[in-house]
Chains A and B, each alone.
Chain A
Amino acid sequence: EPEVTQTPSHQVTQMGQEVILRCVPISNHLYFYWYRQILGQKVEFLVSFYNNEISEKSEIFDDQFSVERPDGSNFTLKIRSTKLEDSAMYFCASSEATRSGNTIYFGEGSWLTVV
């Protein structure tokens, strides 16, 4: 079965450092998403991406965050200057079309620890 793959599975970084989380969505999917889940808390939407631009973003997705699809297969989330509170599991997801009636496939997540 096709799957969304994410790398790294776990990253530890110093506060203030830049981090790039990578995702390979399912190949025929057109919509891509990033979500965050702080340990023990609910999943939070960060951003959705379609046709090489951001479709929607949440209040969490401030100027320190950016997304990119650099080469037609990877979808990246960059955090420019990490803070302690950025420590969380970051999930990438993709869907074939809009959410309406379409299955959303999540990757296994990238666990980010900021120290």
Chain B
Amino acid sequence: QQPVQSPQAVILREGEDAVINCSSSKALYSVHWYRQKHGEAPVFLMILLKGGEQKGHDKISASFNEKKQQSSLYLTASQLSYSGTYFCGTEITSTNAGKSTFGDGTTLTVKP
């Protein structure tokens, strides 16, 4: 069963913050986040493992709440370059070897 992402779309002004959520009805081993711009390949952002860790790089960070089976992606002080579709991928065991189930994506538009 695929993870559910919310919201489906976000429109921001430069400098504003956004949170994108990814929820699963199944117990998860890992959650990974990607950004994809129109007509381009997905770009891996980060992976979070069971254990409730939080990761980040630059102004993009994420958390994984194991109890809620939910991950959140935080984008702070958004830049125009952040525009794109963000989607999460989930794996239910460590032996899945990449067998991910992806969410439908959240379209983020950052305006000047």
Contact-residue size bin, chain B (C-beta under 8 Å from the other chain): 20 to 34
Q: Mark B9-39, 1 if CB is under 8 A from A, else 0.
A: 0000000000000000000001010101000
Instruction: Enumerate A93-110 residues with CB–CB distance to B below 8 Å.
Output: 95, 98-109
Q: Is B96 an interface residue (CB 8 A)?
A: yes
Q: Mark A64-90, 1 if CB is under 8 A from B, else 0.
A: 000000000000000000000000000
Tally of contacts, chain A with chain B, CB under 8 A: 69
Looking at chain A's contact residues, the main secondary structure is strand
Flag the segment in B60-68, B73-81, B98-106 that touches A. Answer: B98-106
The reply to whether the CB of A55 lies closer than 8 angstroms to some CB of chain B is yes
B105 — which chain A residues lie within 8 A by C-beta?
42
Chain A residue nearest in CB terms to B103: A42
Name the B residues within 8 Å of A57 (CB-CB). Answer: 99
Which residues of chain B are near A106, meaning CB under 8 Å? 41-44
14 contacts between A and B (CB under 8 A): A33-B98, A42-B2, A42-B105, A43-B87, A45-B99, A55-B99, A56-B98, A95-B98, A99-B96, A100-B47, A100-B49, A104-B98, A106-B42, A106-B44
Query: Residues on B close to A: CB < 8 A?
Result: 2, 30, 32, 34, 36, 40-44, 47, 49, 87, 89, 91, 94, 96-105
Residues on A close to B: CB < 8 A? 31, 33, 42-45, 48, 50, 55-58, 91, 95, 98-109
